[in-house]
C-alpha cells in the first residue's frame, strides 16, 4: 500500500510538468477474443473491417502483437499493471482478484489530472472487491462512451476503456454469418480444425461478430470527431485474446495469443505504417503512462512502445514471452494447466509444466463449462467430440483435446499453424536448448515463483465464479 501511495504522489508531481502542454486523450477499443489475422487490413478474404482498416491506414498496423496470457482476466491484469502475471499473485488466473497493492494505470493517470472510465467489459471476470478495491481496476463504469464524454470537463484530457464483447462466444449468433451475406466457400479453415460445412458456418458467425465490433469502433470514431477531439486523441483498436475456438483461447499457440492491433495518433504516428516488431499487451500500461507525460513504474516488466509509434527502433523486440495458470475451473482439485512459453519469428517453444494433466480440461465435467472445459462450447467443439473416434476426426481430437508432452517446439517457417511438434528431433536440439535457456532467464529475471521449481500456489487462489454465479 505504501508503494501505491508513493506512486500516486509521484505521478501527481509529474503532472505539474506534463500539464504545461496539452496532453492527448487515450481511447482503447478492446475486442474480446478476436484473433489475428481476422481483419481485412491483414488480408482476410471474408471479414470486412473498414473502421479497423481506417485506424491502420491513418496510423500504424502491428503484425506481431500478442497477449501475455490466453485468458481474459490475467491478460487484462497485465495490461492494467504493466507486469507479467506471475508477479500478480491471484491476478495470474481467470475469475480471481487483483490485490490492491498492484498499481493500475487508470488510477495513476487519474491522479495526474485525467478523467478516466470504462464501459462494457473492463477488468473481468472476477471479484475486484476481494482484492481490496472499491471500483473496477479499469476505472469508474459508464453506460457507454457518449455518457462518459459528457462527463469530461472542458479542456481536461481523458483516458477511456471501451470493452466490446461482440466477438465473445456468448454473443456469436448461429446463422448470422450467412445472413450477413458472408460466403462459406471463401473461409480459410486452419488445419487444426476440420474443413466441414459446420465449421465453416461457425467461423462465418464469428466473422459477423467481428464486423459488429468494427461497427462499434466506427461509431466511436464518429463520436470523437463530433466532439472535436479527434486531432488530439490516441485511438487503440485491439483484442485481448485469440478466438474462442478449439486450440484458440486458453492455448499459447498463435490462435490463442496473436491479436490484431492498430493505433492512430494524429501528428505523431506517420500514417500507413506496418510494424513487424513484437509487441506485448503488457506494454499497454507503461505506454499509456508515457503518452500522458508520466514515467512507467519501476516494477513494470512491460516496456513503453511510444518510440515505435514515433518511428524509432527499439532493440529487444524480437521475442515474446507468454504463460498461463488456471483458466476455467475444469480439473479435479481446482487445478490449472501451467505453461511457460517463448515465441520468436522463427520458433514457438512451449513448456507444459504438468503434462500429466489434461490441457483442455478433464474429459469429465468438474465444475465449470463442461467436459474439456478449457475449450468453450461451440458448434465446432461439439462436431469434433461427437466424432472423435472416427478415423478422419482422430487427428483433430488429438490436436485440440488430448494430453500434451512436457515440451513443444514448432518451426514457424515450415509450420505456421503449429501443428507438428519437433521438440524430439535431433536437428532441433540446439534450438530447443537455446530457447529453453532464454525462457529460464526470463522467468528468473521477472521473479516467476515457478523459476525455483514446482509450486502449487497458483492453484490455491480462490476461483470466484462459484461465489459470483450464485448471486
Q: What is the DSSP letter of 153?
A: P
Successive 10-residue mean pLDDT values, the chain, 471 residues: 48 44 93 98 97 98 98 98 98 98 98 98 97 98 98 96 98 97 96 98 98 98 97 98 98 98 97 98 98 98 98 96 98 97 98 98 94 98 98 97 98 98 98 98 97 89 79 50
The half-sphere exposure of 274 on its side-chain side, counting CA atoms within 13 A, is: 7
Q: Domain locations in the chain?
A: 2-319, 322-468
Angle at 284 between CA 278 and CA 286, to 5 degrees: 105
Q: What is the DSSP letter of 100?
A: T
Q: What is the pLDDT of residue 13?
A: 44
- SS3 letters for 18-68? HCCCCCCEEEEEEECCCCCCCCHHHCCCCCCCHHHHHHHHHCEEEEEEECC
Cβ neighbours around 287 below 10 Å, total: 26
Each residue of 151-198: pLDDT tens digit? 999 999 999 999 999 999 999 999 999 999 999 999 999 999 999 999
Q: What's the rounded Cα separation, in Å, for the pair 471 and 457? A: 27
pTM: 0.94
Q: What is the pLDDT of residue 467?
A: 67
**C-alpha cell of 364?**
469429465
Q: What is the pLDDT of residue 454?
A: 77
Q: What is the pLDDT of residue 456?
A: 87
User: What is the three-class DSSP state of 457?
Assistant: helix
Q: Which CATH number fits domain 2-319: 3.30.1490.20, 3.20.20.150, 1.10.1660.10, 3.40.720.10?
A: 3.40.720.10
- Give me the torsion for CA of 218, 226, 263, 261, rounded to 10°: -20
Cβ neighbours around 216 below 10 Å, total: 19
Asked if residues 164 and 27 have their Cβ atoms less than 8 Å apart, the reply is no
Asked if residues 74 and 95 have their Cβ atoms less than 8 Å apart, the reply is no
Each residue of 388-404: pLDDT tens digit? 999 999 999 999 999 99
CATH code assigned to 322-468: 3.30.1120.10
Q: How far is CA 372 from the centre of its chain?
A: 22
The residue to which cell 454465479 is assigned: 469
Q: What is the pLDDT of residue 21?
A: 53
Mention every residue, 6+ apart, whose C-beta is less than 8 A from residue 104.
Answer: 80, 81, 98, 137, 138, 285
Each residue of 323-342: pLDDT tens digit? 999 999 999 999 999 999 99
Q: What is the pLDDT of residue 15?
A: 47
Q: What is the pLDDT of residue 466?
A: 73
Q: Which of 317, 292, 313 is nearest to 303 (CA)?
A: 317
Q: What is the pLDDT of residue 312?
A: 96
Q: What's the rounded Cα separation, in Å, for the pair 106 and 145? A: 16
Each residue of 113-149: pLDDT tens digit? 999 999 999 999 999 999 999 999 999 999 999 999 9
Amino acid at each position: 500500500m505504501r508503494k501505491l501511495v508513493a506512486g500516486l504522489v509521484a505521478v501527481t508531481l509529474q503532472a505539474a510538468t506534463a500539464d504545461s502542454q496539452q496532453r492527448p486523450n487515450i481511447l482503447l477499443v478492446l475486442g474480446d477474443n478476436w484473433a489475428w489475422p481476422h481483419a481485412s487490413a491483414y488480408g482476410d478474404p471474408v471479414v470486412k473491417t473498414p473502421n479497423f482498416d481506417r485506424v491502420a491506414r491513418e496510423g500504424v498496423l502491428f503484425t506481431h502483437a500478442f497477449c501475455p496470457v490466453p485468458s481474459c482476466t490475467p491478460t487484462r491484469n497485465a495490461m492494467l499493471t504493466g507486469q507479467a502475471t506471475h508477479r500478480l499473485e491471484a491476478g495470474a488466473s481467470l475469475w480471481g482478484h487483483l490485490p490492491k497493492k498492484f498499481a493500475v494505470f487508470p488510477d495513476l493517470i487519474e491522479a495526474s489530472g485525467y478523467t478516466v472510465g470504462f464501459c462494457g467489459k473492463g477488468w473481468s471476470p472476477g471479484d475486484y472487491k476481494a482484492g481490496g478495491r472499491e471500483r473496477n481496476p479499469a476505472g469508474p463504469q459508464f453506460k457507454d462512451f457518449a455518457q462518459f464524454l459528457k462527463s469530461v470537463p472542458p479542456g481536461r484530457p481523458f483516458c477511456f476503456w471501451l470493452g466490446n464483447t461482440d466477438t465473445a462466444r456468448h454473443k456469436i449468433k448461429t446463422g448470422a454469418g450467412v445472413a450477413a451475406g458472408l460466403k462459406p466457400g471463401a473461409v480459410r479453415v486452419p488445419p487444426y480444425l476440420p474443413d466441414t460445412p459446420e465449421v465453416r458456418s461457425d467461423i462465418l458467425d464469428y466473422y459477423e461478430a467481428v464486423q459488429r465490433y468494427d461497427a462499434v469502433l466506427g461509431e466511436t470514431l464518429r463520436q470523437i470527431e463530433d466532439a472535436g477531439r479527434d486531432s488530439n486523441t490516441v485511438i487503440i483498436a485491439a483484442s485481448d485474446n485469440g478466438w474462442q475456438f478449439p486450440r484458440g483461447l486458453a492455448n499459447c499457440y498463435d490462435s490463442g495469443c496473436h491479436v490484431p492491433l492498430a493505433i492512430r495518433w494524429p501528428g505523431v504516428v506517420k500514417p500507413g505504417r506496418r510494424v513487424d516488431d513484437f509487441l506485448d499487451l503488457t506494454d499497454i500500461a507503461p505506454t499509456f503512462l508515457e503518452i500522458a507525460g508520466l514515467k512507467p513504474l519501476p516494477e513494470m516488466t512491460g516496456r513503453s512502445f511510444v518510440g515505435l509509434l514515433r518511428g524509432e527502433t527499439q532493440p529487444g523486440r524480437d521475442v515474446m514471452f507468454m504463460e498461463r495458470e488456471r483458466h476455467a475451473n475444469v480439473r479435479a482439485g481446482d487445478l490449472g494447466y501451467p505453461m511457460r512459453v517463448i515465441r520468436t519469428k522463427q520458433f514457438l517453444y512451449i513448456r507444459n509444466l504438468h503434462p500429466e494433466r489434461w490441457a483442455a480440461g478433464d474429459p469429465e465435467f468438474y465444475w465449470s463449462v463442461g467436459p474439456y472445459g478449457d475449450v468453450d462450447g461451440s458448434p465446432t467443439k461439439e462436431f469434433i467430440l461427437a466424432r472423435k473416434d472416427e478415423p478422419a476426426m482422430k487427428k483433430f481430437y488429438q490436436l485440440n483435446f488430448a494430453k500434451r508432452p512436457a515440451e513443444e517446439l514448432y518451426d514457424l517457417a515450415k509450420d505456421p499453424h503449429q501443428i507438428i511438434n519437433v521438440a524430439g528431433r535431433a536437428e532441433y536440439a540446439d534450438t530447443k536448448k537455446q530457447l529453453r535457456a532464454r525462457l529460464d532467464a526470463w522467468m528468473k529475471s521477472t521473479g516467476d515463483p515457478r523459476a525455483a521449481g514446482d509450486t502449487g500456489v497458483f492453484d490455491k487462489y480462490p476461483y470466484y465464479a462459484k461465489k459470483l454465479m450464485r448471486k
